[in-house]
């Protein structure tokens, strides 16, 4: 199955401590060029812990339209995963949420002046 940049998917996420796996929503941030040449996608984790807004994080304004159960934010936590770790597609981030996420992510990576 092909995935597109801006889609919100349900993935099997490995905890940073390496102690287990849980299903969590994530945003696909890699583009079709990457997808056409690699068996992976680059994702940004999504959390419902909206009280913890850190560098690179973006609150999702249209979270219900995406298929999320709770108010959520896209985090600055980036991972590369194999496509077989994706359980299913939930929806697509709205254009305004995706643009804001890009700005916040670029700031945290130093891609904006």
Provide the residue range defining the domain that includes 53: 7-109
Can you read off the two tokens belonging to residue 13?
């996420």
Is residue 88 a part of any domain in this protein?
yes
Which CATH number fits the domain that encloses residue 65?
A: 2.30.30.110
Is residue 1 a part of any domain in this protein?
no
Of the candidates 29, 74, 66, 67, which has an alpha carbon nearest to the alpha carbon of residue 49? 74
User: Which 3 state secondary structure label does DSSP give 71?
Assistant: coil
Provide the domain count of the chain.
1
Of the candidates 17, 18, 40, which has an alpha carbon nearest to the alpha carbon of residue 29? 40
> According to the model, what pLDDT value does residue 42 have?
96
**pLDDT, tens digit, 9 for 90 and up, residues 50-60:** 998 999 999 99
Is residue 60 a part of any domain in this protein?
yes
Of the candidates 38, 42, 29, 37, which has an alpha carbon nearest to the alpha carbon of residue 102? 29
Is residue 76 a part of any domain in this protein?
yes
**pLDDT, tens digit, 9 for 90 and up, residues 49-86:** 999 899 999 999 999 999 999 999 999 999 999 999 99
Is residue 97 a part of any domain in this protein?
yes
Report whether 75 contacts 47 (CB < 8 A).
yes
Is residue 2 a part of any domain in this protein?
no
């Amino acid at each position: 199955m092909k995935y597109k940049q801006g889609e919100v998917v349900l993935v099997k996420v490995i905890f940073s401590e390496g102690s287990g796996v849980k299903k969590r929503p994530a945003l696909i941030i890699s583009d079709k060029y990457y997808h056409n040449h690699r068996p992976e996608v680059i994702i940004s984790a999504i959390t419902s812990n909206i009280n913890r807004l850190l560098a690179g994080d973006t609150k999702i304004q249209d979270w219900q339209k995406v298929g999320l159960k709770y108010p959520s934010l896209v985090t600055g936590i980036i991972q590369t995963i194999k496509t077989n770790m994706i359980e299913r597609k939930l929806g697509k981030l709205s254009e305004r949420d995706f643009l804001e996420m890009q700005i916040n992510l670029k700031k945290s990576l130093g891609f904006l002046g």
